[in-house]
Structure 1
Amino acid sequence: MCTVIVRVPVSSADPVRLLAVRDEDPQRPWNPLGEWWPDRPGLTGVQDRLAGGAWLAAQGPRLAVLLNRAGHPEGVRPEELESRGGIVLASVGGASPSGTPRTLGFNLVEVDGRDVAVTSWDGVELRHQVLSPGTHMLAHDDVDDLETPRIAAWHRRFEEAGAEGDEWWEPWLRVLAESAALDPADDRAIIRDNHAHGYPTVSLLACVAEIGPESSDVRYAQLERPGEWNPLSFD
């Protein structure tokens, strides 16, 4: 139940800016942001050590980050499911999901220079949506979906906060800190503990990224205690 906020610029002179908060089982091992794929020089990402894929990755002007959503492909037995981690690496390499994925449901945010799209798979239909200029928010359902409590609670605040300057992420972090006053099991919370909802996932880390026509600047920060807010530094 991760969360992504992304600002798509109005002007072609401005970069795309993104904040992604990762929720995962803290017992599932991962590697922090780094170049973990020797066969892919220049690719950096947050690696899932079990499957070898990535939650978020970037290479040049391309970035992808994956959020889980409900959905199981019809006719695919649990032992036949494929890992979702490879989707991010394929996307950064230029191959967006197509056809009928043999994975559980997902939302995939894809940035290519100044263009941003979301590919969604619910186990039945694969949908592709190009995002218009503005500030968008995504979790486990649709983009800017006001039926998602955390989007209803915080989308407007992120929009109003803006994302400008050398440390453009600071206004968004202030909103994130404000949201963390909520109990982490609250449906409106962004820094989350999902055990109360039947999932072993909690918020573990966050990345911010600025993406232009030629390159990406991605930064990583980890929460000191899973599911508990502390001020994050992306310097």
Structure 2
Amino acid sequence: MCTVLLRLDPAADWPLLLAAVRDELTDRPWEPPGEYWPQEAPGLVGGRDRLAGGTWLAVRGGPRPGVAAVLNGSFMNRLEQAPPGSPPSSTRPSRGRLPLQALTAGVPDAAELRAYEVVHLLVADADGARLVSWDGHDVTDVEIPPGDHIITNEGLDVAEDPLVPHFAPLLGRAGRPAVADDIPGEPIPHAATAEWWGDWVDLVRGDGLAEDDPRALLVRHDLPDGRVFGSTSATLLALGREPGQVRMDFTGTPSDPDWKRVEI
């Protein structure tokens, strides 16, 4: 699974705060955030999946900061997908292209999404957020209201996912990031990750849950074929209203994080 912890607060200095954990096969090659798509999506920054060439989370700076991220649909939906006439999994386009398209050409329509495997596409900026989902049967497009939200492979704020009721109160208690007056001598946005993000850094550590706990944010599963499926990276992202007002921090080792600031 993958998880996005999201806060939308229109009145805040930074109206959008996001913590995202990517879960994937640990031997699947990837690269840390950069500008990898100068022709297809100039100016977008994101980690790159080296097999398919796309990304799980893309960020747009410039005059209209924004973010788009994909989460695979739930396992049960994948089992039930494949309606008559649908293309086989091996011929479907990579979902990693969706964040790039969403931030450049716009969110694909329902007909386009049906060509993909089941997916949730989050698109957000300082003015709001929406979650577009394809579950193998229907495409839904939901405007996410202000407040704290958790998106998993099951969808938006799905209480039946054990992670959601465990982490919802932790997210609710997470304070806002530091602003200029909070750290004397450290003007925004140049403070170190732990100083600027505060409680959000602790939140992404996973609350001490075991990696095989059904509630876990950071996971590790040993598969029968000898491969490992686990949490391979984490991102902290804040978007403001002003041009270029973006703060992004990234770690490729979320279980023992070494946070790095990403220039946008």
Q: If the length of structure 1 is used for normalisation, what is the TM-score?
A: 0.89
Separation (CA, whole Å) in 2 of partners of 1:54 and 1:176? 20
Structure 2 Cα separation of the partners of residues 230 and 112 of structure 1: 29
The answer to whether residue 185 in structure 2 is matched with residue 188 in structure 1 is: no
Task: Using the TM superposition, give the Cα deviation of residue 217 of structure 1 relative to its aligned residue in structure 2, in angstroms.
Answer: 2.7
Which structure has the larger Rg over C-alpha atoms?
2
Q: 1:41 to 1:150 in 2, by over 3 A?
A: same
Unaligned 5+ segments in structure 2 are 180-194
| Distance apart, 1:15 and its partner CA | 2.5
Return the alpha-carbon distance in structure 2 between the equivalents of residues 30 and 10 of structure 1.
Answer: 34
Give CA-to-partner distance per residue, 1:44-95, whole Å, 9 cap, x none.
Answer: 1111111111111111212111111133342222233221011111011141
Query: Aligned-pair distance for 1:173?
Result: 2.0
- What aligned pairs does 1:33-182 form with structure 2 within 5 A after superposition? 33-39=33-39, 40-60=41-61, 61-70=65-74, 71=78, 72-74=81-83, 75-100=86-111, 101=113, 102-166=115-179, 167-177=195-205, 179=207, 181-182=208-209
Taking only aligned residues, the RMSD between alpha carbons, in angstroms, comes to 2.2
Count residues with an aligned counterpart.
230
For the residue of structure 1 that corresponds to 2:233, the secondary structure is strand
> Whole-Å Cα distance in 2 between the matches of residues 45 and 160 of structure 1?
28
Distance 1:197 1:5 in 2: 30
Moved more, 14-23 or 168-177: 168-177
Structure 2 residue 255 is the aligned partner of structure 1 residue 229: yes
Moved more, 41-50 or 74-83: 74-83
Evaluate the alpha carbon distance shift between residue 97 and residue 12 of structure 1 in structure 2; reply closer, same or farther with a 3 A threshold: farther
CA distance in 2, matches of 1:160, 1:83: 36
The gaps in structure 1 that reach 5 residues or longer are none
The 3-state SS of whatever aligns with 2:155 is coil
Query: What is the CA–CA distance in structure 1 between the aligned matches of 2:233 and 2:161, rounded to whole Å?
Result: 21
Question: Post-superposition shift, 1:148?
Answer: 0.7
What SS does the aligned partner of 1:54 have?
Answer: coil
Q: Output the TM-score relative to the length of structure 2.
A: 0.80
Post-superposition offset of 1:38: 2.2
Question: Displacement of 1:186 after TM fit?
Answer: 1.0
- Percentage of identical aligned residues: 30
CA distance in structure 2 between the partners assigned to 1:80 and 1:13 by the alignment: 44
Native 8 Å contact 1:149 1:188 kept in 2: yes
